[in-house]
Structure 1
Amino acid sequence: MWFRNVRVFRFTKPFDITAEALEEKLMEDVFKPCGPQETSRQGWVPPLGKRGEQLVHSAGGYHLITLRKEEKILPGPVVKELVEEKVELIEAEQGRKVRRKEKDEIKELVMLEMLPKAFSKNRRSYAYLAPQDGMLIVDAGSAKQAEDLASSLRKSLGSLPVRPPAVEQAPAFTLTGWLTETIDLPSSLVLGDECELKDPSEDGGVVRCKGLDLQGDEIRSHLDAGMQATRVALTWEDSLSFILDEELGIRRLKFGDTLQEKLDDVEADDAVARFDAAFSLMTLELSRLIPGLLDALGGEDRSAIIEAD
């Protein structure tokens, strides 16, 4: 149970919920497969898959949840070809031109005919609520995917006061400063060998570098020309490696050998116990990493957050 990406949401006011209460809320939106004429559906499923029945897996005060989305696959070229065939038949038989509005209606009918036989694509998105840390952590490669899950959770709970965290200075400014050495890189962080640089002008270009010394002359020449670092590879305390971007997204998260060894030391043969152990180790590490990154990026701006009494 290792997340591959991390998108962070900060609770804007004190928020707490028990696993039991969360389970009850999610049950109202449990996943049900698409009907014959539906193109997509989504709902909550057990994080343990077939090994579990609970929609919430809790450990150490952290509540893991899973959103499943099913989408019917209707290949565009196939739909287009069938629509064209029907249009040609109508034009030949009735001796008239089929207009755009009618073509759209034909397309809808074609798709409805195809849906019952269409293949389905399923995607599971994982997240966990960390009330004691004031955060919602989503395993998502994009901000949109993370927001989709947060929106679904908000719908199920009725209210979810979260927003992405804000920092005191622009992340790109700090990332660039680490590469130019004008801002000290915290001792807990080590630069990797990969970055993305962007020209901030309207029509500016993008340079993606891999396998290079990020504080070397080649990178420095681009930065001296006015480019800014928008993604940087980092390693944290020799236990986690990842790409940090200017939206505070953590991509391609990898857990190091130390954590894997800790998991291997867990005396558990069954998959459920190992899943639980991995989740506990992961949440412990991320509860240390995320505040550390926010501090390293200039400190979190908490002006819009209502603190607990």
Structure 2
Amino acid sequence: MWFRNLLIYRFTRPFSLSPEELNEQLAVKAFVSCGSQDMASIGWVSPLGKQDGELIHTSNGCIMLCCQRQEKVLPAAAVKDVLEERVQDIREGEDRAVGRKERMQMKEDIIFEMLPRAFSKSRKQFAYIDPANGWLIFDTASHKRAEEIMVLLRECIGSLPVIPLAAKNTTQHCMTSWLKTHAPTSFELGGECELIDGADESAAIKCKNQNLSSPEILNHIDGGMFVKKLSLSWTGGIDFTIDEQLTVRGLRFADLITDKTEDSQAETAAEKFDVDFAILNAELAQFIPALLSAFGGEELGTEEEVAV
């Protein structure tokens, strides 16, 4: 359950729904498996993985959500093969060509026929609401996946006044400055970064397992390159990579954090999930403000919703 990525949004107005109210409203879009003719299905499931149960899980005042998406796997090559066979049958049997419009209709008919026999694949996406700090946090680095969940959440609760978390200072300038001088307070430089040319962003250099303060790296910066991604270690016990949009990837929690689960002596999967979530949101409640402070603090936006 430990998050590996962070996309963080700021509520522009307090989140006022109680866990009980939210659970009731999420039930409107509870997950239902794909029907025989459905290409995809999306909805809420229990974060604890139960067949029946609450669609939320709370800890330390935070509310965990879990969205499940199921998609039919229908290989394009398989559809194409059947289509070509039927087109060839018409050419030989009726001695005529198949036009574009007829071909498109035949393709739709083939998909309709094949869907009931298609395999399905599913994925779960976790996110949690921290009402006290005013955050909506996704375990993904994909804005598309985060937006998919926000659309679903809006369909359930009506309004979701959030904006992406933003820093006061320009992230690229800050990260570039850290390589030239030193890491911000409570952080240490890692061994990976991605540099882009200030005049041509398509020109990039990726560095891995490097001394980021070495003359070779600094020469690129002196030549007009900026840091786009940078790996850092927080002294609180978290290693990660961050980019210019404040997207956090590759979260790795130190043993001093994850060992707290063992210390709790949780026995069941549900108890372990509860402990892990409590530790996770408590650690991120310290990590996120420290990260924002490194970039000069948070830039508060206006009360408008993200367009999805």
TM-based fold match above 0.5:
yes
The one-letter amino acid paired with 1:273 is E
Q: CA deviation at 1:235?
A: 0.9
Provide, for residues 205-233 of structure 1, a one-character-per-residue CA deviation record: whole Å limited to 9, x for no partner.
12111000111112112212211111111
Give the match for residue 288 of structure 1: 286
| Change in CA separation of 1:193 and 1:300 when aligned onto 2, cut-off 3 Å | same
Q: Does residue 92 in structure 1 map to residue 84 in structure 2?
A: no
Report what 1:137 is aligned to: 137
Q: Alignment partner of 1:284: what SS?
A: helix
Q: Could you tell me which residue of structure 2 aligns to residue 301 of structure 1? A: 299
Report the AA paired with residue 213 of structure 1. N
Structure 2: runs of 5 or more not aligned: none
Q: Identify the residue that residue 278 of structure 1 maps to in structure 2.
A: 276
The residue type equivalent to 1:269 in the other structure is E
1:199 and 2:194 matched: no
3-state SS of paired residue (1:185): coil
TM-score by length of 1: 0.94
CA distance in 2, matches of 1:135, 1:238: 20
Q: Relative to 1, partners in 2 of residues 1:196 and 1:32: Cα closer, same or farther, differing over 3 Å? A: same
Partner of 1:266: 264
**Secondary structure of 2:29's partner?**
coil
Aligned length: 304
Alpha-carbon deviation of 1:50?
2.7
Note the aligned Cα RMSD (angstroms).
Answer: 1.6
For normalisation by structure 2, the TM-score amounts to: 0.94
Give the corresponding residue for 2:61.
61
More deviation in 108-117 or 196-205?
Answer: 196-205
1:8 matched residue in structure 2: 8
User: Equivalent residues in 2 for 1:1-40 (5 A)?
Assistant: 1-40=1-40
How much does 1:238 deviate?
4.6
Q: Distance in 1 between matches of 2:152 and 2:61?
A: 21
Q: Which runs of 4+ in 1 moved over 4 A?
A: none
Tell me by how many angstroms 1:52 deviates: 6.4
Instruction: Please give the per-residue CA displacement for 1:85-118, whole angstroms capped at 9, x wherever unaligned.
Output: 1111112222222122222211111111111111
Cα gap change, 1:34/1:255 in structure 2, threshold over 3 Å: closer, same or farther? same
Does the 8 Å CA contact 1:199/1:206 hold for their aligned counterparts? yes
Q: Match of 2:251, as an amino acid?
A: L
Whichever residue aligns with residue 94 of structure 2, its letter is: Q
Distance (Å, rounded) in 2 between the aligned partners of 1:65 and 1:164: 19
- Tell me the SS of whatever aligns to 1:302: coil
Q: Aligned AA for 2:169? A: Q
Number of the residue aligned with 1:241? 239
- The alignment status of 1:151 with 2:151, answered yes or no, reads yes
Identity level (%): 40
Distance 2:171 2:75 in 1: 40
> How much has 1:141 moved relative to structure 2?
2.3
Query: What CA deviation, in whole Å up to 9, does each residue of 1:271-306 have, x standing for no partner?
Result: 211111110000001111112111211221114259
| CA deviations over 1:126-181 (Å, ceiling 9, x no partner) | 00011111110011121111121122111111110011012222211111111122
